[in-house]
Structure 1
Amino acid sequence: MNNSINIPMHPGVTPSPFSALQIGPLTLRNRFIKAATNEGMARGGIPSKQLVAFHRAIAAGGAALTTVAYCAVSRDGRTFPDQTTLDDHAVPHLRVLTDAVHEEGGAASAQITHGGCFTFLTDLSSKKPLSSSGGFNKVGIMSGLLWKQAMNEADMHRVANEFARAALLARDAGFDAVEIHMGHGYLLSQFISPLYNKRRDQYGGNLENRLRFPCLVLRRVLDAVGSELAVICKYSIIDGAKGGNTAEDGAAIARILEREGAHLLVLSAGMNVESITTMFGSSFPKENRASVSNPIVRTAMWIQGLTEPQVEFREMYLLEHARKIRKAVDMPLAYLGGAKTRANVEQAMAEGFDAVAMGRALIHAPDLVDRLAIGAVKDSACTSCNRCVAMMYTAGGTSCVLGAPGDAALNAQPAHS
């Protein structure tokens, strides 16, 4: 998948969403990206045959790049027990997945992440999970991890090296890209967002300081794999909560990440705890709580239901904010947020975005890209109900409630066996 073909960008000319795109050393066959969505297909941390089948279907359906969600860079970086940790043990299982994606003509990206204090695990090496700042840990109310600890510089360099090592292992597993997760309230987002970062040293205060540690991570990853893999950053362009980052802050973040050499930005929004509706563009149905077997997560969803406003879905719900990012930088950007029709995608291209990332629409119909390309459909039949989010807790993993559930038998089998 990696090569040095240069595809020139022509200002003022709107590219077809089905044309090739260059991001760093990677050439994509078109401009459709499967956004990272927690699959629930790594039981006990082992990638399953169902995870392979899930991403194979996305590639076979025409998407250029499919993103494997939430690959933790260390055991302490996990949020859930059934989450892949990018270590030596995971490589042969993930190699099965990337081989399957390549067989279908697609490319694969590993989303690399550290949860920081956003974790529901109690088997961490410390009872105080790492974060930008210490003190009371509101996420820990559910798990008993009531306190978090501020990272020191030694912690930062160690974790940055863990991200770099994870990127190298992703390369060894056959991935074409890595996506550094800097949004949604995970560790790097805990530094970027003033909702979490209360530091008074060089890693806190103004935005440039709050980006200092995330940029260290980015540079370490670029140094490790940037000549071989596309290095993508996903971040929240707005936090969606009072006192959090605004779209103007999001534009400034993009300028910093462009300066540091990121190959592509995926423009997401919102925080897992404070503003989940900002992330998904609509509220979660009550049925989601009934689908979740984990009592901690089920309780958290109930609390969110009491505090979050009711929001109705609308197409392209992040476009107004994303436009500010497009005006701020020249680098490649992937629009994310409610694109579900061919007209939506073409609008994103016309407004200068280089790619479109889709989550729910491709869970509903993995072949949507091919069907849009040939004109078989103009719109996704996805209802944006958000019930697929809770399906990750079922035996078969994430699936659309309007279709067949995931294969529980395949999800119980390690990918490499």
Structure 2
Amino acid sequence: MAGIEQQLPQAFSPFTIGPLTLRNRFIKAATNEGMSPDGVPSRQLVRFHAGMAAGGVGLTTVAYCAVSSDGCTLPNQILLDSATLPHLRALTDAVHAEGGAVSAQITHGGCFTFTKRPEGRPLSASGGFNKIGLMSGQYLKREMSLADMRRVAADFAAGARLAREAGFDAVEIHMGHGYLLSQFISPLYNKRRDEYGGSLANRMRFPRQVLRQVLEAVGEELAVICKYSITDGVRGGNSIEDGVAIARELEAEGAHLLVLSAGMNAESITTMFGSSFPPENRSVVTNPVMKAAMFVQSLVEKPILFRELYLLEHARKVRAAVDIPSSLLNARRRPNLRKRRLRRQKPCAPCRAEVTIPGSSGKAVRRANC
């Protein structure tokens, strides 16, 4: 490690995100580890993130902490409530004991769900047919009312306060990949005709309200990070020009760091990974519906080969447009390219964990994403 530190001193120097100072510029990105049965973080998850900190990561991100029960997309995701508080405290204590900082990714899945909902149609920016809900029998989605939006925004704020109480150093609001806030931002999902639909400024109105309430909830104690898709990667979705405008909106609202990703889970997953879903990953999936869907996708989609630093050009446009720091995700595989970026003294999030995807045989699947 000493040799690497001498070669890349800036990468190992402290880095400030709002009120939080990290020991270095390495961030473990959020990945759905699938280690929270019944919504409660397991000891395995605690060891996982403590291990990240022990390995020297400056900030490790606990993925998909749902702000309400109707915000979960899978049954084994963390639910931010009083029952999980002591378990989350054990996790943050373990990370801090290893000298690292820890962030909670807070989100709501909207209509993106694989879980049957007894309480009715899943929420979204607009109502109608729910393509992603076919696997769980959620064929229709419901347009959120103003009362729904007030409730969900309050849930985000409450989740942020609980994260603060649990000892987290930061919260990351997930606004990308087709989850609820992304469903408002993207014209693919947002067909509203009120002040929350139409122009990008209108589509950003609800996500900005959520960000504002989260900032108010945590005060000056926690860093507030926003993760979003700088392009939807599909016709009719947000372009990179829209992604730059989104960055300006989030900066104006007070976000401390932007985590730049791309793509939509249900529309353009190849954009998220920069390549087609690896055929070898299908072999470890046991869920027959998921396996069939992956096979059909392989037949109808033209294979896309991985291209190193495939988001870098887009990320540079965002970086030039705002003054707050940004972190680029999911863009490198070869260590020499990773080192090259670090030599340019950029904050970096190269850490993609090998995780167990729910519904698989238990083997590790490398390219998890959240």
Q: Aligned residue for 2:311?
A: 318
Amino acid at match of 2:160: A
Is residue 2:261 matched to residue 1:255? no
Unmatched 5+ stretches in structure 1: 1-13, 365-387, 402-417
Is residue 2:34 matched to residue 1:45? no
The partner residue of 1:210 within 203, 216, 221 is 203
Greater CA deviation, 209-218 or 302-311? 302-311
Q: Aligned residue for 2:275?
A: 282
The partner residue of 1:57 within 51, 60, 67 is 51
CA positional deviation for 1:299: 3.7
- Residues 1:359 and 1:398: Cα distance change in structure 2 (over 3 Å): farther
Summarize the alignment of residues 164-175 of structure 1 with structure 2, pairs less than 5 Å apart.
Answer: 164-175=157-168
Give the whole-Å Cα distance in 1 for the aligned partners of 2:335 and 2:225: 24
Summarize the alignment of residues 357-396 of structure 1 with structure 2, pairs less than 5 Å apart.
Answer: 357-360=349-352, 363=353, 391-394=357-360
Give the whole-Å Cα distance in 2 for the aligned partners of 1:54 and 1:240: 32
- Aligned 8 A contact 2:287 2:360 in 1: no
Amino acid at match of 1:48: S
Is residue 2:29 matched to residue 1:31? no
Unmatched 5+ stretches in structure 2: 1-7
Q: Aligned residue for 1:74?
A: 68
Give the whole-Å Cα distance in 2 for the aligned partners of 1:397 and 1:223: 41
CA positional deviation for 1:120: 1.0
Give the whole-Å Cα distance in 2 for the aligned partners of 1:190 and 1:15: 40
Amino acid at match of 1:33: I
Give the whole-Å Cα distance in 2 for the aligned partners of 1:247 and 1:352: 24
Summarize the alignment of residues 21-170 of structure 1 with structure 2, pairs less than 5 Å apart.
Answer: 21-126=15-120, 128-170=121-163
- Residues 1:303 and 1:233: Cα distance change in structure 2 (over 3 Å): farther
The partner residue of 1:195 within 188, 191, 194 is 188
Give the whole-Å Cα distance in 2 for the aligned partners of 1:250 and 1:160: 22
Amino acid at match of 1:276: I
- Residues 1:268 and 1:34: Cα distance change in structure 2 (over 3 Å): same
- Aligned 8 A contact 1:75 1:124 in 2: no
Q: Aligned residue for 2:332?
A: 339
CA positional deviation for 1:233: 0.3
Corresponding pairs, count: 360
Amino acid at match of 2:105: Q
Q: Give the RMSD, CA atoms, in angstroms.
A: 2.1
- Aligned 8 A contact 1:32 1:63 in 2: yes
- Residues 1:184 and 1:308: Cα distance change in structure 2 (over 3 Å): farther
1:303-326 deviation line (CA, Å, top 9, x unaligned): 433344312222211101111101
- Aligned 8 A contact 1:184 1:235 in 2: yes
TM-score by length of 1: 0.82
CA positional deviation for 1:95: 1.1
Amino acid at match of 1:77: G
Give the whole-Å Cα distance in 2 for the aligned partners of 1:243 and 1:107: 38
Identity %: 64
Summarize the alignment of residues 260-279 of structure 1 with structure 2, pairs less than 5 Å apart.
Answer: 260-279=253-272
Amino acid at match of 1:304: Q
Q: Aligned residue for 1:413?
A: none
Give the whole-Å Cα distance in 1 for the aligned partners of 2:262 and 2:111: 19
Is residue 2:228 matched to residue 1:224? no
CA positional deviation for 1:56: 1.0
- Residues 1:105 and 1:206: Cα distance change in structure 2 (over 3 Å): same
Q: Aligned residue for 2:348?
A: 356
